[in-house]
Structure 1
């Protein structure tokens, strides 16, 4: 039911198409991460995604499993890419993506923050 919205969202993420990502988010959407427990507004999340694309090339999401729910999707995936120093990254995540009226209204993202350390360090070095 919501798979088309989610597929468009992840395709836009892989392509670095921030404008399309913005259009898929509801204006008041929030993005929560388990490692900082902060509900991030859309504009802050888009800044993070832009930074991700500056330092990770060949970004792609390998969907491990997805379960459709009445109000969205639960998805387990692996983010793959390459850092500027040539190291490959592999970040295992699980997400609940809430969808209403064709827009993502909330994301709850669960990941191992230790796996994200290399990406964060590369983003900070690129600033």
Structure 2
């Protein structure tokens, strides 16, 4: 895990998420101030960033000891799968809850916005990951 890449992904998702939320608000005809969009995305992504960083730290500390007898490539594979699955599930769940709380819309509206932003996040994660492998 590279902290600079995580922060770059964090700020990229926040900026793209704000644009997506504002476009969706305009399409639906909702009148929310820009601050509301910024606050909802920023809170959501900050919580996810803290969870990912702490999960990476915990997995690095405890999973290495636990999986000491197996091949290191298998460890990396398990580590990556756990991070992607957990970050996707937690990100989706938290995003729905935060959007539902702030926007006071039904779950379908929150789910649509959240899934778009989570997919953008996963695409950015892949791009950043493969760009570091190439470099």
TM-score w.r.t. the length of structure 2 is 0.30
Of Structure 1 and Structure 2, which has the larger fraction of its residues in helix?
2
Point out the structure with max Rg over C-alpha.
Answer: 2
Of Structure 1 and Structure 2, which has the larger fraction of its residues in strand?
1
TM-score w.r.t. the length of structure 1 is 0.31
Bigger relative contact order (CA 8 A; separation at least 6): 2
